[in-house]
Structure formats: C-alpha cells, structure tokens
C-alpha cells in the first residue's frame, strides 16, 4: 500500500527528536484552531486489541509481545526491535502504511486553513514527500536527555541510546523549512509558534489563490 496523503489544505510536517517538544509545539498550534494530526497517536491506535496490525505483530513476534489483557507489550517489542534492524524494518513495514492511511483519512476530514502533521521520525519516513513544508522542533541533545529523564523512568543509558538511534540534529535541521528553537521557556516557544502561524496562514491563503 503506497498511499499518498491527499489533503486540500497544505500539510506542514512537524518533527523533532525524542522529547524535543513536538507535542508542546503541536498543542500551541491547536490552540489557534489548527488541525493537528499526530502520527504517534495514530501509531498507538492501530495496534489496539482487535486491530489487524496487532494480530500481524503476534504472528511475527510471538505471543510474548502481547500482555495477558490482550494489549501490546510495548516495552518488550521495543527491546526486540531495538536490537535487530531487520525486525525493526519488518515492524515498520507493517505499521507505516496503516499509519499513513489513517493520517490520510484524518487530513481529508479536517477543517482548518492548514494542517500540522506530527511525524517523529519524518527524516526516515516516506511521509516526508506528503508535506508542503517541514517544521523542526529543535533543542540540544543534553536538553532532550534532561526532559526525557524527567518525564519517563528510562535509565540514562537507555535514554542516550534512544537519542543516538535517531537521525542527528544536523540532519534534521538540514531538511527544515522552519525551525522552532525549544531550548528556552515556553513563552519563547509560543512566540515563535505565533509568528509561524501567521506565516502559515498566508502560505495557505496563497495556495488557495494560486
Ligand atoms: P516524544 O518524542 O517523547 O513524543 P515530544 O517531542 O512530543 O516527546 P514533549 O512531550 O512536548 O516532547 O516535551 C517533552 C517534555 O519536555 C515534556 O515533559 C514537556 O512538558 C517538557 N517541555 C517541552 N518543552 C519545554 C520547555 N520549553 N521548557 C520546559 N519543559 C519543556
């Protein structure tokens, strides 16, 4: 399945490293009434019990990745695919088309001048080509680490490995049309989002008239 997202409103992809502040920034856009499509939320929904993707995961990875209540044992699955690139790719090939199809459905339904699509691993995703523009939420790896450890009970070692497994900061910044620096306080971030919202509204208006 190689669906391409079809949306009338422009799609602006929002990405950034783990714990960089993607959700924080996306919520600020949502406060302006912008439709936010979060592929992380979709990724969780497509593996809910009863969804075909969960049955496929059970077939490929075995019942040890399913909890006794039928839900996916995320940590166990994460540990398995983290140590095996082939299995990670296999899992991605099972999930990505479904996530993209659902994002497509939500984008077609959404009503706003432009849509923000949150894709954590956009650099590695075919969804990159669906985006009219790419916004990177940026902060240093040290800040990512501090925020990650404050939020989740990961070990520092594991947190560092997750950060190291993602594309590096300069690769991410190289694909950015726009950057929100999220190293300061929330009001500094909100100021940047406000300015981008003004820009995005004018780009959306241009795309209607051209
Ligand atoms: P993930 O990759 O895990 O989905 P994320 O990129 O969506 O994370 P957030 O959840 O928005 O990141 O932020 C990570 C943590 O850092 C959260 O606990 C959030 O409250 C905090 N945070 C985000 N931005 C700031 C900021 N400017 N100042 C202080 N804390 C912040």
Q: Tens digit of pLDDT for each residue in 136-186? A: 999 999 999 999 998 876 688 888 988 998 999 999 999 999 999 999 999
Residue nearest to atom 3 of ligand 1 (CA): 19
Check pocket membership of 20 for ligand 1, CB cut-off 6 A.
yes
pLDDT surpassing 50 at residue 1? no
pLDDT surpassing 90 at residue 8? no
Q: What's the pLDDT at 193?
A: 98
Q: Which residue has the higher pLDDT, 206 or 201?
A: 201
Atom of ligand 1 nearest to the CA of 182: 27
Burial of 56 (0-12, 13-18, 19+ CB in 10 A): middle
Q: What's the pLDDT at 210?
A: 58
Percent of the chain residues topping a pLDDT of 70: 95
- pTM of the prediction? 0.90
The dihedral of CA 93, 99, 103, 104: what is its sign? positive
Check pocket membership of 144 for ligand 1, CB cut-off 6 A.
no
Average pLDDT over residues 177-198: 98
Check pocket membership of 54 for ligand 1, CB cut-off 6 A.
no
Atom of ligand 1 nearest to the CA of 184: 27
Q: What's the pLDDT at 194?
A: 98
């Amino acid at each position: 399945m190689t669906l391409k997202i079809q949306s009338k409103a422009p799609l602006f992809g929002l990405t950034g490293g783990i714990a960089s502040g993607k959700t924080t920034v996306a919520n600020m856009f949502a406060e302006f009434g912008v439709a936010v499509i979060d592929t992380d939320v979709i990724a969780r929904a497509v593996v809910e019990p009863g969804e075909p993707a969960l049955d496929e995961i059970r077939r490929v990875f075995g019942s040890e990745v399913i909890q006794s209540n039928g839900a996916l044992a995320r940590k166990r699955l994460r540990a398995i695919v983290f140590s095996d690139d082939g299995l990670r790719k296999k899992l991605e090939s099972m999930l990505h088309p479904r996530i993209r199809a659902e994002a497509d459905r939500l984008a077609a339904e959404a009503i706003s001048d432009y849509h923000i699509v949150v894709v954590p691993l956009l650099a590695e995703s075919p969804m990159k080509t669906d985006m009219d523009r790419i916004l990177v939420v940026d902060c240093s790896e040290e800040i990512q680490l501090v925020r990650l450890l404050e939020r989740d009970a990961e070990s520092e070692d594991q947190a560092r490995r997750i950060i190291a497994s993602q594309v590096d900061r300069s690769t991410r910044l190289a694909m950015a049309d726009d950057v929100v620096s999220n190293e300061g306080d929330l009001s500094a971030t909100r100021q940047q989002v406000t300015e981008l919202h003004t820009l995005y509204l004018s780009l959306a208006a241009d795309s209607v008239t051209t």
